[in-house]
Amino acid sequence: MRVLIIAEAGVNHNGSIKMAKQLIDVATEAGADIVKFQTFKAGKLVSKTAHQAEYQKANLKNSDDSQYNMLKRLELDEAMHIELIDYCQQKGITFLSTGFDEESVDMLDRLGVPFYKIPSGEITNKPYLQHIARKLKPVVISTGMADLNEIKEALDVLTGEGLDLSMITVLHCNTEYPTPMEDVNLKAMLTIKETFKVKVGYSDHTKGIEVAIAAVAMGAEVIEKHFTLDRNLPGPDHKASLEPDELKAMVSAIRNIELAVSGSGVKEPSNSEKPNKTIARKSIHLAMHVKVGETIQSSHLIMKRPGDGISPMLIEQIVGKIASKDLQEDTKLKLEDIIT
């Protein structure tokens, strides 16, 4: 199984097409499969009286706590989307964006996104879920702030509009930026998988890369992680994002974990370790000189490397046997050295 790694640029472009392209460069260099942005019209997403979340206020550190004003500065229009899609094609990475409203979803549909990403905040937005499901494309849905019943209701809406459950991947998520480690509750990902019989993954908002890597070891098929050019840049999500070297390290670690968990599950010597059996294991050797005709006692024996002689597991078959010839100390016993 190859884990799908979504490098979440989100709104960390700060409204700049140049910065957005730099983020694409970083995601490509890191080896991510997808670089994802966010598509919205501020007027359709929030009211003009909506306040920013506490983490957004802390990250922006300005006197204007209007969520509308913040988001208005971060919009990407259709021409910018087309430019970024073309750039992704040049760089060999897949473009994706989360549409936060039906108009944005329609635009992304026209632009040919391979699947739809439903953000945590829209999991209870029934008209939005229905609109996406009717496109009959694969869906990845985040579940931050949701309980199992809300996940079930969202899945019921999606499948009720004709989307097959096999086309849906559910991401465990915590919508706090950054997520405290004690709130990660990574086992909930397995609960989601067992309860709904769906593909699962993890959208990670913790600091660092270790939780995303752990999620892969636990069976995540999709990993989504925010990244930025610089955590010190102004903006709502930079502080909870990986910097370029960290994103690259995360991707590399995930690819290693993929290999580590991809075995058959049968416990048997691997091809790489088979040559080491004779080096690491032991054989029955003599601890002292034994004369021809002498009965071999356990005190005559010592277990030493290499392991290409008689196995110590057969010691009872050696003790009490007669030496067929004079045998020197440190001799690695062979069957012809004893009379059976």
Whether residues 194 and 326 share a domain: the answer is no
57 and 98 part of one domain: yes
Regions of the chain where pLDDT drops below 70: 52-65
Amino acid (1-letter code) at residue 90: Q
Label the pairing between strands 301-304 and 283-286: antiparallel
The whole-chain average pLDDT of the chain stands at 94
CA angle 119/64/67 to nearest 5° reads 20
pLDDT of 147-158, one tens digit each? 999 999 999 999
**CATH number of the domain encompassing residue 323:** 3.90.1210.10
The residue behind tokens 């073309």 is 86
Do 162 and 50 fall within a single domain?
Answer: yes
In a domain, 195, yes or no: yes
What pLDDT is stored for residue 258 in this prediction? Answer: 96
What is the CATH number for 133?
3.20.20.70
Q: At what angle do helices 78-91 and 102-111 cross, to 10 degrees?
A: 40
Residues 193 and 246 in one domain: yes
CB 229 within 8 A of CB 29: no
Omega before 178 within 30 of 0, i.e. cis = yes
Contact 249/257 with Cβ under 8 angstroms?
Answer: no
| Mutual angle of helices 148-160 and 187-196, in 10-degree steps | 40
143: containing domain: 4-260
pTM higher than the cut 0.95: no
In a domain, 242, yes or no: yes
Residue 265 lies in a domain: no
Residue 96 shares a structural domain with residue 208: yes
> Of the residues 208, 227, 260, which one is the last residue of a structural domain?
260
Q: For residue 285, what are the β-bridge partners?
A: 302, 332
